[in-house]
């Protein structure tokens, strides 16, 4: 796979899955625009690692849930680089809790970031990609968006919404040679899952046929494939990276 000359925007690209995706795309030759909200040091560290590995990277601070901020940021990215070829909608948050106790603000915050954030970013690249008649949009959903999970109604709703958004836009944009796909990670070894109690990890592993958590690199490999010309005839599809936990 070769992404030389491509410009890729990765939201939430400073750590975890977003960092792994940024490093993988940069390693394949893409210029990676790393979005962050509140951790400039982590974002810059990721960018530095991309450059150290021989790639090109830059950091841009904006909140994907803020439509005006997204519009301004993508306008600046287009001014700086001339085109955007790949968009990876990875930014996401959790505010877990049983539905009967869930606060409205926790519902809104998760939906605004995880679902509306993707809407805002796709809206910003839609016309430029249509004009260049090429592009790859990859939405990071989750096994929870397909299977659901107690205590994560807001997160599941947002990630399931990304599934419908992906399939609908794939049909709308295919005639302009813009592909829209998704990657659905299962339980991935990240900062978030490392903080789980050992008893919780044991329960999770018992649900996974492969008996191990995935790595952020596993997810990044799927994203890189969908971003590349190797996947030129694939749109509206999802790659499930979950060790067999959910098959659909």
Active site residues: 155
| Residues ≥6 apart with Cβ < 8 Å to 134 | 85, 177, 178
Strands (E), 2-134: 7-10, 31-36, 56-61, 86-89
The helix-helix angle for 153-173 and 117-132 (nearest 10°) equals 10
Side-chain-side CA neighbours of residue 210 (13 Å): 14
Q: How many helices (H) and strands (E) does the chain have?
A: 10, 9
Cα separation, 189 vs 112, whole angstroms:
25
């Amino acid at each position: 796979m070769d992404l030389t000359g491509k410009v890729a925007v990765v939201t939430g690209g400073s750590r975890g899955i977003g960092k792994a995706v940024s490093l993988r795309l940069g390693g394949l030759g893409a210029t990676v625009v790393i979005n962050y909200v509140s951790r400039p040091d982590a974002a810059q560290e990721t960018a530095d690692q991309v450059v150290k590995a021989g790639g090109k990277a830059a950091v841009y601070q904006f909140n994907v849930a803020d439509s005006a901020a997204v519009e301004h940021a993508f306008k600046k990215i287009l001014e700086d680089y001339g085109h955007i070829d790949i968009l990876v909608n990875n930014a996401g948050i959790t505010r877990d809790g049983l539905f009967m106790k869930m606060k409205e603000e926790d519902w809104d915050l998760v939906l605004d970031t995880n679902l509306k954030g993707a809407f805002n970013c796709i809206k910003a690249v839609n016309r430029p990609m249509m004009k260049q008649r090429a592009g790859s949009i990859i939405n990071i959903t989750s096994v929870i968006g397909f299977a659901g999970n107690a205590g994560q109604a807001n997160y599941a709703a947002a990630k399931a919404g990304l599934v419908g958004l992906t399939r609908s836009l794939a049909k709308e944009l295919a005639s302009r040679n813009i592909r829209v796909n998704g990657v659905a990670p299962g339980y991935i070894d990240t900062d978030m899952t490392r903080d789980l109690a050992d008893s919780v990890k044991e329960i999770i592993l018992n649900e996974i046929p492969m008996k191990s958590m995935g790595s952020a690199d596993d997810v990044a490999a799927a994203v890189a494939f969908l971003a590349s010309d190797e996947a030129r005839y694939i749109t509206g599809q999802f790659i499930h990276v979950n060790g067999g936990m959910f098959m659909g």
